[in-house]
Amino acid sequence: MSNTPPLLEVRNLRVEFPTRRGTLVAIDDVSFSISPGEVLGVVGESGAGKSMTGAAIIGLLEPPGRIARGEILLNGKRIDNLRYEQMRRIRGREIGAIFQDPLTTLNPLYTVGKQLAETMTTHLPIGPAEAKRRAIEWLELVGIPAAAQRIDSYPHEFSGGMRQRVVIALALCAEPKLIVADEPTTALDVSIQAQVIALLKTLAREKGTAMMLVTHDMGVIAETADRVAVMYAGRIAEIGPVREVVKHANHPYSAGLMGSIPPLDRRVERLAQIDGAMPRLSAIPQGCAYNPRCPQVFDKCRELRPDLLDAGTTRAACWLYDTEAVRG
């Protein structure tokens, strides 16, 4: 997509969950890449597979989920087939993870400073004194006042917004090249959310860190991401530059999704709505998974599953953009 080789490349990823009643395919044939310094937003409804894609990349899929096909490359090297110990070293050092709930990410029994210092001494060639000095620096950088005093505080002594800043510091302190952030601001109030997003953006820009930002909040995506992938029923429905996907979506699903967001700048009598609901993993329809809800459905959609096709400004998995399609 750009001249620089991608930092992260996901090729034809497929994640399966074997169950007693057959195998469920949670993610199917998902491919994308992220360049250094780039922010890729991943959006979609709950159950679309966005968080699971993130979990697959950082190697923390919940068993019995497993990568059944495809590969994940970081800097051109495969990381999807590494052993647990090898992957553990990559997590933290090369890939930082930020999750939705800051309380479950932090260990309640250790002080914030100890957790930061331990992460750095594990991954970076520095001693404890240097690690402590840097821990204070990081806390200051993420906007925690009186960092030198608060370094010996425990997570419960911080408020929600402050804790999420600590989590961000923790994810960034080993200076990873890629950050996988899963709903990093969902648990926060708007005013705190704005502070956290501003912080993530600045850090990504200054340190050249690439970011995969998973969220269902389209407003956050619009202001943060460079490119967006819209997921539906385990597949990418559309991927492209943020401005195009948000304003001029080509896939009927992304268009519907954007249309259903209540606008802040005017009152509308009736919000656009997509009728029905996303199919369950055990009952994904034949052909395009969106066809039962799609206002522009035609015969081919019910039979064959579309791959990502060139839709001009974006790439969309929709037969409308198949040059050879015969509309029926």
Partner 1 sequence: MADAPPMFEARNLARHFDVSRPLLQRIVSREGKRTLRAVDGISFAIPKGTTLSLVGESGCGKSTVARLCVGLYTPTAGAVVFDGRDLAEARALADQRRRMQMIFQDPYASLNPRWRVGDIIAEPIRAFGLIGTRAEQDNRVAELLTQVGLSPLDRVKFPHEFSGGQRQRISIARALSSNPEFLVCDEPTSALDVSVQAQILNLMKELQQRLNLTFLFISHNLAVVRQVSDRIGVMYLGRLAELAPAETLFRTPRHPYTRALMEAIPDLEMTGRERIPVGGEVPSPITPPSGCAFHPRCPLANDRCKRERPELKPAGDAMVACHAVEEGRDDAMPMPAIVRSAA
Residues at the interface with partner 1 (CB under 8 A): 45-46, 159, 161-162, 189-195, 197-198, 216-220, 222-223, 242-243, 246-247, 256-258, 260-275, 277
Which residue's CB is nearer to partner 1, number 227 or number 315? 227
Phi, psi of 9 (to 5 degrees): -130, 125
Q: Shortest distance, CB of residue 322 to partner 1, whole angstroms?
A: 25
Nearest to residue 249, comparing CAs of 262, 239, 261?
239
CB of 46 to partner 1, least distance (A): 6
As a residue count, the chain comes to: 328
In degrees and rounded to multiples of 5, residue 237 shows phi and psi of -85, -35
Nearer to partner 1, 159 or 323 (CB): 159
Residue with tokens 């948000």: 246
Residue 51 and residue 44 in contact, taking contact as beta carbons nearer than 8 Å: no
Q: Which amino acid is at 238?
A: E
CB of 153 to partner 1, least distance (A): 16
Instruction: Identify the residue whose tokens are 């109030």.
Output: 189
As a whole number of angstroms, the distance between CA 116 and CA 173 comes to: 7
Task: Give the nearest distance from C-beta 196 to partner 1 in angstroms.
Answer: 9
Q: 304 with 287: CB under 8 angstroms?
A: yes
Q: Least Å distance between CB 44 and partner 1?
A: 9
- Which of 117, 274 has the CB closer to partner 1? 274
Query: In the sheet that 66-74 helps form, which strands lie side by side, from edge to edge?
Result: 22-34, 8-19, 66-74, 77-78
Helix H or strand E segment including 40: strand 39-43
From the number of C-beta atoms within 10 Å of its C-beta (0-12, 13-18, 19+), residue 152 rates as exposed
Least distance between partner 1 and beta carbon 170 (Å): 20
At 89, give phi and psi (nearest 5°).
-70, -35
Residue 160: Cβ-neighbour burial (10 angstroms; 0-12, 13-18, 19+): middle
Nearer CB in complex with partner 1: 79/231:
231
Residue closer to partner 1 (CB basis): 148 or 277: 277
Which residue, 10 or 141, is less far from partner 1 as judged by CB?
A: 141
Q: How far is the CB of 25 from partner 1 (least distance, A)?
A: 19
Q: Name residue 181's amino acid.
A: A
Which C-beta is closer to partner 1: that of 146 or that of 272? Answer: 272
